[in-house]
Each structure stands twice: as C-alpha cells, then as structure tokens.
Structure 1
Amino acid sequence: MGKEDEVGDLVNLPQKRYYRQRAHSNPIADHCIDYPQTPDDMDWDKYYPNKGEKSVEFADIGCGYGGLLITLAPMFPESLMIGMEIRVKVSDYVMDRIAALRIQNPDVYKNVACLRTNAMKYLPNYFKKGQLKKMFFLYPDPHFKKAKHKWRIINKTLLAEYAYVLREDGIVYTVTDVKDLHEWMVLHFEEHPLFVRITDEELKSDPVVDKLFSSSEEGQKVTRNNGDKFLAVFRRIRDPSV
C-alpha cells in the first residue's frame, strides 16, 4: 500500500447529519457574504489546485449537497465547475466533501469547487460576459405563494443575467418535481429572446441529462417518494438585435 493510499484510508467523507439545515433560505434577505466587486477581483486559484489559465465553465446554482458536481467532475475533467449555495452548513459540507475526495482520489475532483454566495444577487460579480458553458438549476425553491413568485430563481430579470454570463450555445438545465414551477420556468425561458428550448430528440445525445434526475440528494428523495420529475433544457442563442 502506497503512502497516498494510507492517507486516503484515513480521510473520511463528511457526514450529512452534522451539516443539516432547513431546506430553503430567503434569497431576498441580507446575508453576510463576501463577494468580489467584479469578476476580475475573484481569486479562483485558491479553489482549483491546477487551474492554470482555465476559467470556470459550469455553474450549479443552489448546488445543495453537491451530488451533481461530484458526478460531473470525472466526466468533464478539463472543465472547471463551481457549486453556488446560499446555506452556510450545506456549503460547508460540499467544501469538506470535495477536500476529502481530493485526498482519497489525488487525480480527480481538482476541477470542482463550492462557494457560499447568493447567486440571485451577485452572479455577475463572479462571471464575465459569455464565460459559462453550462448552468444547472436542480429542484429550486418553488416559492409556492403567489406573493413570493418574485423570489423564484427563474424570472425575467434574472434571465437577462443568465443570458449575459452564458456564451452562445451555452446550455441551461432545469429539473423540478413541482409541475407549476416547471411550467413557470418553461414559460419564462420561451418568452426570452435569447433562449430556445432543446428538443427531447436532441437531448438523447447529451450525457449530462441522465445524471440530472438522481445525482442530487433532492432528486434521490423524489425518487424514493415516487414523485414526478420535470426536465426542461434551453440553449443560449445569438442576440438577434446584434
């Protein structure tokens, strides 16, 4: 047994029961969050050991306990991906999980990281125009009450920001177990001039799609409860006015 194996055997993955927190957080409330004033002020090197000249290309918004990130990391080893999570304990868990996995698997997971932030407020502070290739919104807070619909992570104002940070042909993946929210997200994306929905036929060749339903803790919970899962995927298109 080599030294690395000995080290890996001594490092245990964090246990979720020590990081539990309420399912959702109020995105409108003031949170004590450090964030860069501009994307140029963001020090990504401390998150990725072998970053080099690469830029972050995948963003999982509201990444929860990081299941999707951990699944995608070895699938796209050349792509840097970040999970953005507003809940303190949950983001701490993901950071600790990644740190442990890097020790257990020295050649894997160096392309994935997590930070605590409020993506609804600060997304353009982290990413430059056209920087991202993929964005993920898995099981976002449905905010059932009509008065709180403005808090939904997909809305007219925020879609403009997502279009800004996504490059042309960039892809947004959405999954929810709430039909009303699914219809809301589809409606808003289809009404936006810079997004078109990707057909089910096209999605058959996308290796990411199969991972969206059960890689996250929330997706696994829906599966256990025999709940429905609604998928909608959209492509960022060229601005027709330019």
Structure 2
Amino acid sequence: MPDHDPNLNPTHSKTTGLPRKRFYRARAHSNPLSDSHFPVPISPAQFDYSLHFPGFSDRSQKIEFADVGCGFGGLLIALAPLFPATLMVGMELRDKVTEYVKERILALRASNPGHYHNASVVRTNSMKYIPNYFHKGQLTKMFFLFPDPHFKEKNHRRRVISPHLLDEYAYVLTVGGIIYTITDVEELGVWMKACLEEHPLFEAVAATELQADPVVELLSTATEEGQKVARNGGETFTAVYRRIQAPPSS
C-alpha cells in the first residue's frame, strides 16, 4: 500500500481526500464457500509486511489484531490511533470494499503524517485462509462485527463463527487473546455465544472487565452497520470470549 496523493484520484473527495463510497459499492455479502481469485500467502512467513506497514521498521513485529469481514474499515480506523504501536489488518472478501478500505487508509496516512501506518487491509477469504496469514498464537484480538447471519439452516455452515472455525481461531490466538462478536440478529447472537460457550478453549470475559475495555464500545459505534442499528433504535447482541489454555488431557 504505497503512499500517494488521493486528491489526484477522481473517486476521492476534493475537500477531505477520502474515497467516496459510491464508487466502491458492492453486494452486502459474498458467498464464503465460492472460489475467488486473489493471491494468498503459502504460509504466514510469506505474508509481505512491507507492502502494508511502511512506517514500521522492526520487521520482527507481527500483526496482533484481525478484523474479520472488516467491511468499510470503520473499526480499523477507530482502533489504529487507540493502539498506535499495534499492527492490525482487516480481512474482506469483496474486492470493491477492500479497495475502498485501502484507499481510505492511504488517504488518512497522507492527511495525518505519522498516523494510521499500523493499519492495513487484505482481500481474502478468512474462512479458508486464516492459517495462511497468522502463526500459532500470534493474534491478541479478533473481531467479528455484524457478520452475515445466513438465516437458512442449510447455510449455517457459511457462518463465520462455528465450532470448526473456532478451532482455527483458537490456533492463531494467543492464550489470553480475545474474540469480540456483535450482531443485531438475536438468533445469530445466540448461535455465536453458544458456539463460544461450548468450545473448550474459550471462556466468557467478565462483565467488570468488559466495562473497562475501551474496545467494547467501538463494537457498536465504529462501523457503518452499528451506526445504522443505533439510528434505527435496534438491539445488539454481544459475545466476548477469551482464549484459554487447553485443559489437561485425561
């Protein structure tokens, strides 16, 4: 993601320099089980950080936050200044939306020198390729904000939170790492909480800890989806769980 002058791009606002969403609109969701064509690193060691984080010279530093299905990047933009020394990446399947987030970050870097160099985005299918991007125990936070509910029972296997996928998330999360989920669909909220509750490598984060966590408020305020739910007076359902040590085998 090399720096550039966003004002030279007709798809950007001439006043703010930020990309205009109307040029990057796409379908609300994509089928995560379909085949898409984009480059995927063979292993985390092949993921080229220099293309994403030009402001960080310490190549031993690793990505710690992953926003899965990052949409238009609202959470990334909110998290980047809160955790300026932490590398974070959004993972998005839709090509136009990924391009929007990329241009948004580049524009913010250009208008705020020295800031937002810790955030980036990749177009990928996280349901298939999470282990291709992150080493075992690498991540400290993972976010799943307003994912596709896939209402039909036959499509529940497409849900981004499932017992099988939690195995992979547990693999890339460090012990003590946290998964944040939120939805405005009660049935999906119950599903995600049940999956996390029943998994042996996750436990619910205590309410007192959630109240002190500055990230929790962002779950419902930082994204376009969350803001829409708030405007409409809708209800949200949150589940926040910590990765724990594997119990001793019998």
Q: Same fold per TM (> 0.5)?
A: yes
- Structure 2 counterpart of 1:116, which letter? R
Q: Does 1:46 align with 2:54?
A: no
Residue 173 in 1 paired to residue 177 in 2? no
Instruction: Find the counterpart in structure 2 of residue 73 from structure 1.
Output: 80
Q: Residue 11 of structure 1 contacts residue 103 of structure 1 at CA under 8 Å; is this kept in 2?
A: no
Structure 2 unaligned segments of length 5 or more: list them.
9-13
Q: Does 1:14 align with 2:19?
A: yes
Aligned-partner Cα distance in 2 for 1:150–1:180? 15
Q: How does 1:23-38 map to 2 (within 5 A)?
A: 23-38=28-43
Partner SS, residue 74 of structure 1: helix
**Which whole-Å deviations, capped at 9, do the CAs of 1:120-150 have from their partners, x for residues lacking one?**
0000000000000000000000000000001
The question of whether the paired residues in 2 share the 8 Å contact of 1:154 and 1:185 is answered with: yes
Unmatched runs of 5 consecutive residues or more in structure 1: none
Could you state the TM-score of these two structures normalised by the residue count of structure 2?
A: 0.92
Q: Residues 31-70 of structure 1: CA distance to partner in whole angstroms, max 9, x if unpaired?
A: 1121011111111121001231210000000000000000
CA distance in 2, matches of 1:80, 1:209: 19
The size of the alignment, in residue pairs, is 237
Secondary structure of 2:190's counterpart equals helix
Q: Normalising by the residue count of structure 1, what TM-score does the alignment of the two structures yield?
A: 0.95
Alignment-mate amino acid for residue 53 of structure 2:
Y
1:136 matched to which residue of 2?
143
Map 1:172-211 → 2, pairs under 5 A: 172-211=179-218
Pairs within 5 Å for 1:55-74: 55-74=62-81
Alpha-carbon distance between aligned partners in 2 of 1:10 and 1:100, rounded to the nearest angstrom: 12
Distance 1:42 1:11 in 2: 32
Q: Does the Cα contact within 8 Å between 1:98 and 1:109 map onto a contact in 2?
A: yes
Q: Cα distance, 1:11 vs. partner?
A: 6.5
Moved beyond 3 Å, runs of 4+: none
Task: Give the percent of matched residue pairs that are identical in Structure 1 and Structure 2.
Answer: 54
Q: Distance in 2 between matches of 1:28 and 1:136?
A: 20
How big is each residue's C-alpha offset from its partner over 1:170-198, in whole Å with a ceiling of 9 and x where there is no partner? 00000000000000001011110000011
Taking the aligned partners of 1:206 and 1:58, their CA distance within structure 2 comes to 15
Residue identity opposite 1:101 in structure 2: L
Secondary structure of the structure 2 residue equivalent to 1:148: helix
- Counterpart secondary structure, 2:234: coil
